[in-house]
Amino acid sequence: MAETMTAWVVRRPGPMTGRPLERVRLPVPEPAPGEVLVKVEACAVCRTDLHLAEGDLAPRRPGTVPGHEVVGRVVARGPGADLLAPGDRVGVAWLRSTCGRCRHCLRGAENLCPDSRYTGWDADGGYAEYLTAPQDFVHPLPEDRPAEELAPLLCAGIIGYRALLRAELPPGGRLGVYGFGASAHLTAQVALARGATVHVLTRAASARRLALELGAASAGDAYDAPPEPLDAAILFAPVGDLVPVALAALDAGGTLAVAGIHLTDVPPLNYDEHLFRERTLRSVTANTRADARALLAHAARHPLRVATTRYGLDQADRALADLAADRVTGAAVLHVGG
């Protein structure tokens, strides 16, 4: 095994025009007790990576390697990591560890654990040739799908799935999707498979075209009113100005779930227009391992069309810059090896 590897680190958080990412050579990490070493095949590019690079999300350690939608293979195990074997294909997602003892963990809400840790934020992630991860927080993956199609499921798919749960869409209900990037285009397909009517509201014409190709009933601009009242809505765009827009589009009793880890400031809400008649506003925080298992099981039963734009590992900074400039349709994915 190589003693060093290519990786990207967030050296100077700031606008992508200032090149906050730096390509470096790092030692190949060694798995600690209970961890596995994973050789990366592909890593999808998440908007959370962009928030970290640009400083919207405060770094938790200097020189962190971003990336938390990783597909790869186990190549080594630390002491006590006997649940997986070398050669196993696995996914490494955003949630890296939890305490397992707090009241949130004990009631099945490990995403709210105050001691939770995250891949590509608290520990080095997948913008690299190798990474380590606790064996209890990696996910077995099928052999019959390309890594580039599986990688976006490991955050975009999982977070979208949790956002759909938080939105409490009734059976056969009318769902509004605000923003239509990596997570939204997968979530819309999950909702459609469950019999929902989906209306997409997003500023990019290419994303509106993709939405209609995937089966959306309509696709308009982000600030347009949908053609009918919504039973539920999910805000994927990190734009606080859209919160009152989406709330106003809800029917009585509807719920808006905000799916992002970062959101610009929300303007003042008018009680009668935005919240009265039992409209509900909810946030979404990370995910649980149960969410990941449920989404991966759904994708096995109902294969999702994953729209991707492929980049080499040497193009990670370009992939994030394209994401920042809305030049990516679907999900950007770094092809690393395999």
Same domain? For 328 and 313 the reply is yes
Same domain? For 17 and 131 the reply is yes
Is 296 within the bounds of a domain?
no
Per-residue tokens: 269: 């809400």
pLDDT digits (tens, 9 = 90+) for 43-59: 999 999 999 999 999 88
Is 293 within the bounds of a domain?
no
Question: How many domains, the chain?
Answer: 2
CA 79 to chain centroid: 30
CA distance 3 to 129: 11
pLDDT > 90? residue 1: no
Is 244 within the bounds of a domain?
yes
pLDDT > 90? residue 182: yes
- The stretch 240-254 carries a mean pLDDT of 98
Same domain? For 161 and 147 the reply is no
| Boundaries of domain holding 25 | 4-154+307-335
Is 141 within the bounds of a domain?
yes
Confidence tier at 338 by pLDDT (50, 70, 90): low
Phi/psi at 43 (nearest 5 deg)?
-140, 120
CA distance 38 to 99: 23
CA distance 99 to 225: 44
Is 291 within the bounds of a domain?
no
CATH code at position 98: 3.90.180.10
Same domain? For 137 and 262 the reply is no
- Strand residues in the chain grouped as ranges (E): 4-10, 21-27, 35-45, 70-77, 89-92, 95-97, 117-118, 130-134, 138-140, 174-178, 197-201, 218-220, 230-235, 250-258, 280-283, 308-312, 331-335
Residue 38 β-bridge partners = 74, 131
Same domain? For 165 and 139 the reply is no
Is 239 within the bounds of a domain?
yes
Is 294 within the bounds of a domain?
no
Is 299 within the bounds of a domain?
no
Same domain? For 17 and 147 the reply is yes
CA 98 to chain centroid: 18
CA distance 252 to 240: 22
What was the pLDDT predicted at 59?
Answer: 87
Nearest to 254 by CA among 288, 225, 281, 226: 281
Same domain? For 32 and 116 the reply is yes
pLDDT > 70? residue 107: yes
Confidence tier at 337 by pLDDT (50, 70, 90): confident
pLDDT > 90? residue 226: yes
Task: Indicate if the alpha-carbon torsion angle 333, 203, 234, 226 is positive or negative.
Answer: negative
What was the pLDDT predicted at 23?
Answer: 97
Same domain? For 124 and 245 the reply is no
Using DSSP's 3-state secondary structure scheme, residue 245 falls into helix
Indicate the helix (H) or strand (E) that contains 153: none
Same domain? For 13 and 134 the reply is yes
CATH code at position 236: 3.40.50.720
CA distance 153 to 150: 6
Nearest to 293 by CA among 157, 181, 151, 169: 157
Pairing of strands 130-134, 197-201: unpaired
Same domain? For 12 and 122 the reply is yes
Same domain? For 125 and 184 the reply is no
Predicted TM-score (pTM) of this structure? 0.94
Same domain? For 107 and 32 the reply is yes
Lowest mean pLDDT among 95-99, 108-112, 230-234, 260-264: 260-264
